[in-house]
Amino acid sequence: MKQRENVVVLDFGAQYTQLIARRVRECGVYAEILSGTTPADEIAARSPAGIILSGGPGSVYEPDALRPDPKIYDLGLAVLGICYGQQLLAQHFGSSKNVCRAKHQEYGRTHLHIERSERLFCGVKSPLQVWMSHADRVKQVPDGFVRLARSKAAPVAAMARPEERLYGVQFHPEVEHTEQGRAILENWLFDICQLKRDWSLKSFIDEAIEQIVQQVGEGKAVCGLSGGVDSAVAAALVDRAIGDRLVCIFVDHGLLRAGEFETVREVFSEQFDLNLVAVDASDRFLDRLSGVTDPEEKRRIIGEEFIAVFEEQASSIGDVDFLVQGTIYPDVVESGTQSSAVIKSHHNVGGLPDHMDLQLVEPLKYLFKDEVRRVGEQLGLPSEVVWRHPFPGPGLAVRVLGELTADKLFKLRQADAIFMEQLRRYGLYRDIWQAFAVLPDVRSVGVKGDHRTYGQTVVLRAVTSTDAMTADWARIPHEVLDETAGRIVNEVDGVNRVAYDITTKPPGTIEWE
């Protein structure tokens, strides 16, 4: 892999850290995320042109606050501190007294008034609307720094020590609600860091293929193909690298959406011509899941069974050394990192059991979902695969709340299929990041044909997002929801109520379990 110009993003636990990296990549510069406490020598070994200090949920004046290695400031690199990152700069070059609890906290949109451009705000019109999310504030700039901007509740909304290329902003330029946010980031990247635009998904594809060739050598690999975009793109990349030495294994665990098993076999065996082994292991999975209600236990069991099935299939193929997985960056983050808590476990994150001989190949591990889709398009995957809504590895097991039964799965598949059909009929499917039906363990009273019913409830969930790290509920027209609900209660036996989930992420997650 060639050494490319890059930026390191140090993660202090902010929900927007991945968005920072994504925005930098959109500017044509490669960004890598590292733990906020990564030693300076490890950062220097990556030869970055600059360091971005992310936001974070903590306060810099707390005794156990996350702080970077102070030696990073001796590397001579440009630094941009965002929110908590600016407060870290203020504390390091001043003292803890430079940062305090804000009397009036800022969350959401506010107006920024620029006082000095100092390259960071070159060409940026003032005032501008920015996105704030902070309870603490920098009350005075450290010695040697100058104030660049202010807001109503933040007297130091941006600051700099220009001669040393140290910059801090209290707002979030990476969030789309910040006007001219990209221009501010580009000023830092191309004027202050003097970077070139040499990152693209085309270059990623070329380098990923090269890396796969180096890793796999003359060996064979199996890929866990689920039918979703992540595993499909991973398979396509590895197929491009090693050809027939890749065998894709598609496991029907009995938890797929309606018609999915047949669709996957047709697309990947016939249209895309991959070596595909389709395995019906539904009885095996459902037997192990019988009586299980805890979602984490469901995920653990399904993960174990996947591993077991793959071991069996790999051994029957013979001389297989590698297992390809479609792990993407949000999977890694939500499974917990040094700076981020575990939100939910993912069965394809964290390596493999000690007894398993296969080595992992994860070519998409540091890509976001929208990047994966664009890679899939460049590799020539069918649009119905590239734009398919995300589907969790545990499948419908985490969309049927409580104990799994064949009857519940049948009802959920019907309701989900109706929902997808309606979204496509009204041209909404591509506008929505992810949509699905949930069957909670809830029954309610209803009336059908003058008779009392005591049936099940279906919850519909649809969200808009760019990277799955944050999401908003989709504003589906009421008439579409009305028609969809009517179809579900009339066509799905035993369902007498439909609800629509309007929770954002955070505080909720996209999936219910």
Average pLDDT over residues 446-452: 77
pLDDT bin (cut points 50, 70, 90) of residue 466 is confident
| pLDDT of 356 higher than 70 | no
* Of 365-374, 448-457, 479-488, minimum mean pLDDT range: 448-457
State the sign of the Cα–Cα–Cα–Cα dihedral 475, 481, 484, 490.
positive
- Report the pLDDT value the prediction gives residue 329, as an integer from 0 to 100: 72
pLDDT bin (cut points 50, 70, 90) of residue 104 is low
| pLDDT of 355 higher than 60 | no
pLDDT bin (cut points 50, 70, 90) of residue 14 is confident
* Residue 173 belongs to some domain of the structure: yes
Distance CA 12, CA 57 (A): 8
Residue 174 among the catalytic residues: yes
| pLDDT of 233 higher than 80 | yes
Which of 5, 106, 118, 174 is labelled catalytic?
174
| pLDDT of 332 higher than 70 | no
What digits encode the pLDDT tens for the residues 141-180?
998 999 999 988 888 999 999 999 999 999 999 988 899 9
Same structural domain, 439 and 476: yes
Strand pairing category for 451-464 and 495-501:
parallel
- Report the pLDDT value the prediction gives residue 70, as an integer from 0 to 100: 95
Same structural domain, 429 and 466: yes
Structure tokens belonging to residue 57? 């949920």
Average pLDDT over residues 57-64: 85
What digits encode the pLDDT tens for the residues 107-140?
778 899 999 988 999 999 999 999 888 778 888 8
Same structural domain, 119 and 30: yes
Which of 92, 134, 172, 347 is labelled catalytic?
172
Which of 5, 83, 179, 389 is labelled catalytic?
83
Distance CA 29, CA 20 (A): 12
CB burial of 396-427 (b: ≥16 within 10 Å; e: otherwise) equals: bbbbbbeebeeebbebbbbbbbbbbebbeeee
Helix H, strand E, coil C: the string for 164-219 is: HCEEEECCCCCCCCCCCHHHHHHHHHHHHCCCCCCCCHHHHHHHHHHHHHHHHCCC
Same structural domain, 215 and 315: yes
* Residue 393 belongs to some domain of the structure: no
- Report the pLDDT value the prediction gives residue 341, as an integer from 0 to 100: 43
Same structural domain, 289 and 424: no
Same structural domain, 267 and 354: yes
Average pLDDT over residues 258-282: 86
Q: Which helix (H) or strand (E) holds 315?
A: helix 295-317
| pLDDT of 313 higher than 50 | yes
* Residue 215 belongs to some domain of the structure: yes
| pLDDT of 296 higher than 70 | yes
- Report the pLDDT value the prediction gives residue 1, as an integer from 0 to 100: 44
The residue that leads in pLDDT, 412 or 251, is 412
Q: Which of 192, 225, 241 is the last residue of a domain?
A: 192
Q: Which of 147, 162, 192 is the last residue of a domain?
A: 192
Average pLDDT over residues 293-299: 93
- Report the pLDDT value the prediction gives residue 353, as an integer from 0 to 100: 54
Q: For the chain, give the percent of residues with pLDDT over 70.
A: 93
Do 22 and 57 meet the contact criterion of CB atoms below 8 Å apart? no
- Report the pLDDT value the prediction gives residue 105, as an integer from 0 to 100: 67
Quote the pTM value.
0.72
Q: Give the distance, in angstroms, between the CA of residue 267 and the centroid of all CA atoms in the same chain.
A: 26
The mean pLDDT value of the chain amounts to 88
| pLDDT of 367 higher than 80 | yes
- Report the pLDDT value the prediction gives residue 8, as an integer from 0 to 100: 96
pLDDT bin (cut points 50, 70, 90) of residue 397 is very high
Rg (CA), the chain: 25
Residue 193 among the catalytic residues: no
- Report the pLDDT value the prediction gives residue 205, as an integer from 0 to 100: 94
* Residue 396 belongs to some domain of the structure: no
Same structural domain, 381 and 469: no
- Report the pLDDT value the prediction gives residue 171, as an integer from 0 to 100: 92
* Residue 400 belongs to some domain of the structure: no
317: domain CATH number? 3.40.50.620
80: domain CATH number? 3.40.50.880
Segment of 82-91, 275-284, 473-482 carrying the highest mean pLDDT: 473-482
| pLDDT of 330 higher than 60 | yes
- Report the pLDDT value the prediction gives residue 132, as an integer from 0 to 100: 85
Count CB atoms within 10 A of the CB of residue 341.
Answer: 10
Same structural domain, 359 and 489: no
* Residue 327 belongs to some domain of the structure: yes
| pLDDT of 348 higher than 90 | no
* Residue 506 belongs to some domain of the structure: no
Q: Which of 386, 419, 438 is the last residue of a domain?
A: 386
Q: Which helix (H) or strand (E) holds 41?
A: helix 40-44
- Among candidates 310, 394, 393, 318, which has minimal Cα distance to 353? 310
Q: What angle do CA 384, 389, 395 make, to 5 degrees?
A: 115
Structure tokens belonging to residue 245? 């030495």
What digits encode the pLDDT tens for the residues 409-432?
999 999 999 999 999 999 999 999
| pLDDT of 354 higher than 70 | no
Same structural domain, 173 and 211: no
* Total number of domains in the chain: 3
Same structural domain, 178 and 253: no
pLDDT bin (cut points 50, 70, 90) of residue 101 is confident
Full domain range(s) for residue 135: 6-192
Same structural domain, 149 and 258: no
Residue 172 among the catalytic residues: yes
Same structural domain, 179 and 67: yes
412: domain CATH number? 3.30.300.10
Strand pairing category for 99-114 and 128-138:
antiparallel
* Residue 111 belongs to some domain of the structure: yes
